Every structure is written in C-alpha cells, then in structure tokens.
C-alpha cells in the first residue's frame, strides 16, 4: 500500500455522517438533486465502460449505484470499496436485487490505503470522495497506483456553479431549501447533511480549485485529463488515462 495514509478525522466524520442514511439514500439523493445525481453518474459510467475494462475498482461506492451501472453496461467485474459498513450493507442488498452478485464484490476499505497491488485494475471510479479525505493529492496518487498503465480513471463530485447568477441560486438552494427538504423527507439525519453540504462544497473548492485537482491527477500519472461541469456547474465529472510505461 504505497503512500498509504493513517485514518483521520475526515474518515471518521464521513463514516458517522453517512451511517444513518442508507435506507433512503438512493431515493432522496435523486429527489434532492432533481434527478441530476443519476445523470452525472451515467456520464461517469460512460467514460469507464467505453474503455471495455475487465476489472474495475469503484471507490466510495456507497450503496453501489455506480458499481451496478458499470456491471450492467459492461462485462467487467467490479470491486466496490467504502468506509461505511451500513452503506455497503444496503449496497449488497441492491446488488443481489440486480442479479449481479457474481460480478460485484463490496468490501470495507479506505481510498487512502487500498489493499490492492499496483496496476490491479483496468479502470478506477470514485464519487463524492475528495471532500472527505485529509490529503486529496496523496489519495489520487493511491487511486492511480492500483490502475494499470493505459487504464481509465473517472470521478464525480458536486461543484459550485462559476456563473454569479447560478451561484446565487445554488447558495439559496443549498443553504435554505436543501436542509428544509431533507428534514421533511428524511428527518434529522438528512437535515444535518443538508446544512453541511453547501458550505462544505464551497470550502473544498476554495482550497482545492478544479485546476489544482486537475494538476493532482497529472502529478499522479494521469494524462488527457478532462473536467466537465454538469447541470450549470452543480456537479463535475473528471476522467483521464494513466500514462503507459
């Protein structure tokens, strides 16, 4: 596990934040994003499956939404990793319901300290991850370590709209409407997520601009790195290919 980092406060916070969410996570994620979450995920999946991988690692897999889409749209075997056992348990139920038990394996693990050997996977995906790790640069290097040369890496995260009009509307939604809707639909746990999310996203990009994250991908050995803002800048999908030796 080259460059592995010890577990820290960010990991503990993420695990505690997501622990009560799995039962309604997939439904509310779609409702509260007005269906954009699935649209963003499918864009990520498109870049992974276009490479026709045999082995895929899906990091921060949560309830296995991306893993299921990849397996459904390709012949790949998928290993999903997440720090939240409660999210993984819900993911296993969804994998079984999808009839993909033989193609998808889910296990507890940390993005900063993957148990896999170098170049183990043809493709690596990760979603909503970098805001919950202490060192995004080191984490990206660890993800790239297990990707074979010539393999594809793709990611998805929330973003803050760059245009002032859409940024203002986004702030109103994330600071006022999202917490209220989260509480109405999911109770206190979803209210907490709603109040946390907007400030967390803006704080992250104030420290880690998209340009800085792109540079971190390149420093980790990725080339042809692209970042595509989605839905007026509410989300961003990134992808690139690991340099061949």
**CATH code for the domain of 115:** 3.40.50.150
Note whether residue 118 is domain-resident.
Answer: yes
| Domain enclosing residue 63, as ranges | 9-160+209-242
Q: Note the pLDDT tens digit of each residue in 79-137.
A: 999 999 999 999 999 999 999 999 999 999 999 999 999 999 999 999 999 999 999 99
Note whether residue 168 is domain-resident.
Answer: no
SS3 call for 127: strand
In whole angstroms, give the CA distance from residue 215 to residue 150. Answer: 18
Note whether residue 94 is domain-resident.
Answer: yes
Binning pLDDT at 50, 70 and 90, where does residue 173 land? confident
Q: Note the pLDDT tens digit of each residue in 180-196.
A: 887 787 888 778 888 88
Q: Note the pLDDT tens digit of each residue in 216-226.
A: 999 999 999 99
Phi-psi region of 137 (alpha: psi -120 to 50; beta: other; left: phi over 0): alpha
Quote the mean pLDDT of the chain: 90
CB 59 within 8 A of CB 143: yes
In whole angstroms, give the CA distance from residue 223 to residue 164. Answer: 31
């Amino acid at each position: 596990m080259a460059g592995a980092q010890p577990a820290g406060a960010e990991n503990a916070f993420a695990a505690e934040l997501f622990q009560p969410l799995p039962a309604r996570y997939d439904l509310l994620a779609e409702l509260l994003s007005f269906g954009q979450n699935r649209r963003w995920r499918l864009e990520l999946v498109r870049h992974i499956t276009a490479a026709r991988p045999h082995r895929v690692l899906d990091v921060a897999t949560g309830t296995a939404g991306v893993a299921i889409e990849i397996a459904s749209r390709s012949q790949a075997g998928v290993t999903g990793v997440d720090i939240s056992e409660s999210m993984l348990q819900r993911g296993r139920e969804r994998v079984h319901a999808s009839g993909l038990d033989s193609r998808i394996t889910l296990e507890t693990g940390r993005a900063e300290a993957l148990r896999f050997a170098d170049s183990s996977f043809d493709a690596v995906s990760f979603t909503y991850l970098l805001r919950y790790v202490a060192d995004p640069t080191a984490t990206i290097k660890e993800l790239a370590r297990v990707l074979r040369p010539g393999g594809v890496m793709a990611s998805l995260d929330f973003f803050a709209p760059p245009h002032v009009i859409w940024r203002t509307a986004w702030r109103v939604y994330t600071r006022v409407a999202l917490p209220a809707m989260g509480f109405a639909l999911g109770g206190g746990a979803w209210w907490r997520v709603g109040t946390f999310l907007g400030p967390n996203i803006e704080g992250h990009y104030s420290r880690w601009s998209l340009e800085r994250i792109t540079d971190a991908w390149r420093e980790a050995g990725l080339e042809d790195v692209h970042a595509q803002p989605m839905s007026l800048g509410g989300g961003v999908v990134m992808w690139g290919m690991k340099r061949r030796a």
